[in-house]
Amino acid sequence: MKRIITIQDLSCVGKCSLTVALPIISAAGVEACALPTAVLSTHTAFSHYTYHDLTDEIRPISDVFYTLQLDFDAIYTGYLGSVHQMEEVETFIDRFRKEKTAVIIDPVIGDFGNLYQGFDQNFADHMARLCKKADLILPNLTEASYMLRIPYRETYDEPYIRDVLLRLADRGIRRIALTGVSFEEDKIGFYYYDAAEKRFFSYMNQKHPAAYHGTGDIFASAVTGAYLRGFCMEDALKLAVDFVLQCIRCTEADPGHRFYGVNFEAALPYYIESLRTAK
């Protein structure tokens, strides 16, 4: 069985980061190990939250892993809380990366043109640096724009998206899947560039009018799980788009759904079945 270590926060309530990554990776049939970077009562988009930083735990935990000669088939990072924490994560990647290790970085910085609470341009600049360590990054257009220090555009066309991808590749990033890309009102998906193969690839599916929090984390976790299960990157990304859509459909079908996230739990059987049959 393959083993992933995912490095991100534990938000007790809010359906994001570890509370979605662990179940999705487990559902993929891959061992899900966690390195929690912080404990929050609720994620930072709630009106109230506590934040207990665990950056100082990263080094001693990693020392134990090293002593025990533990290894990981993938290192997958999500929300990170500070520049200092990113530096610790960079050291962790350097320490545990082997030839077979897939490093997947979701550069969680913001959405809809805005940075998440507590982040600034300096944080985005450091995230851009961390992304050079990745085999795959999964930014949305807000995150890509901040990392490139270009204005965020609400409307764009295909040549613009390709240009953004090429600029990220110019920074030394190997594979980039730009998420939440939409050229038509009722379609949304990703646009991907593989710098080594100089190849673009995109895939879109149905877009629902409502936006839900946490879908970026669900998407990244689903890609990571499928990739570790042996899907090629393009197929893993496609499968994740379809899974997120299924999560949204399950949410909209539930009149009692929560305001803060999608019913990804109800869509897990669909994910497991896709992993079994989609190849």
Per CB under 6 A, residues contacting ligand PXL are 9, 11, 16-17, 40, 43-45, 79, 108, 116, 214, 216-217
Instruction: Output 202 or 224, the one with its CB closest to ligand PXL.
Output: 224
User: Bridge partners of 174?
Assistant: none
How far apart are alpha carbons 180 and 144 in whole angstroms?
A: 12
CB of 190 to ligand PXL, least distance (A): 17
Instruction: Output 16 or 223, the one with its CB closest to ligand PXL.
Output: 16
Residue 182, SS3 per DSSP: coil
How far apart are alpha carbons 243 and 257 in whole angstroms?
A: 18
Instruction: Output 15 or 238, the one with its CB closest to ligand PXL.
Output: 15
Q: Which residues contact 139 (CB under 8 A, 6 or more apart)?
A: 106, 107, 109, 131, 147, 168, 176, 178, 179
CB of 8 to ligand PXL, least distance (A): 7
| Element at 259 (helix H, strand E) | none
Instruction: Output 16 or 30, the one with its CB closest to ligand PXL.
Output: 16
How far apart are alpha carbons 62 and 10 in whole angstroms?
A: 18
CB of 108 to ligand PXL, least distance (A): 5
Q: Beta strand pairing status for 102-105 and 187-194?
A: unpaired
CB of 216 to ligand PXL, least distance (A): 6
CB of 97 to ligand PXL, least distance (A): 24
Q: Which residues contact 261 (CB under 8 A, 6 or more apart)?
A: 14, 15, 16, 20, 212, 213, 214
How far apart are alpha carbons 102 and 227 in whole angstroms?
A: 9
CB of 14 to ligand PXL, least distance (A): 7
Instruction: Output 20 or 173, the one with its CB closest to ligand PXL.
Output: 20
